[in-house]
């Protein structure tokens, strides 16, 4: 495996880890439910997308043949994450949870 491929795989893996961590940080630190929904639904999707791309690059170069089955995970998560975020947001609206911009969310 050449230096450029190693650099690409390492950068993608690291970017994925950083995005996953930022999503979890948002989930832990943001003040109300609707903000907390952003972390898992956006940052983590990007993070796992980066990691799956890194896995694709690594196994394609290592085996010598293109390895595309990690695309399944990317496509599946990109399709399902907005749906589950929408369902959870609807449930939160239905329960009339405290909102930060109304001033009734505890910090």
Partner 1 sequence: MIGTAINVTLVLIGLAMSLSLWRLFRGPDVVDRVIAIDMLYVNACAMLLVYGIRAETALHFEAALIIAMLGFLSTAAFARFLLRGDIIE
* Residues at the contact surface with partner 1, assessed by CB under 8 A: 6-7, 9-11, 13-14, 16-18, 20-21, 23-25, 27-28, 33, 36-37, 39-40, 44-45, 47-48, 51-52, 54-55, 58-59, 62, 67, 69-70, 72-73, 76-77, 80-81, 83-84, 87-88, 90-92, 94-95, 97, 106
User: Minimum Å distance from CB 66 to partner 1?
Assistant: 13
Minimum distance between the CB of residue 48 and partner 1, rounded to whole angstroms? 5
Q: Residue 38: CB partners within 8 Å, gap ≥ 6?
A: 26, 30
Residues 77, 79, 85: CA angle, nearest 5 degrees:
80
The token duo for 74 is 């990317």
Q: Identify whether the C-beta of residue 70 lies closer than 8 Å to the C-beta of residue 53.
A: yes
């Amino acid at each position: 495996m050449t230096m450029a491929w190693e650099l690409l795989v390492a950068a993608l893996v690291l970017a994925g880890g950083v995005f996953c961590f930022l999503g979890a940080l948002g989930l832990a630190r943001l003040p109300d439910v609707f903000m907390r929904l952003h972390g898992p639904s956006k940052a983590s999707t990007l993070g796992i997308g980066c990691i799956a791309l890194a896995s694709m690059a690594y196994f394609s170069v290592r085996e010598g043949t293109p390895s595309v089955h990690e695309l399944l995970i990317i496509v599946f998560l990109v399709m399902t994450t907005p749906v589950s975020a929408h369902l959870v947001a609807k449930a939160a609206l239905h329960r009339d949870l405290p909102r930060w911009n109304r001033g009734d969310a505890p910090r």
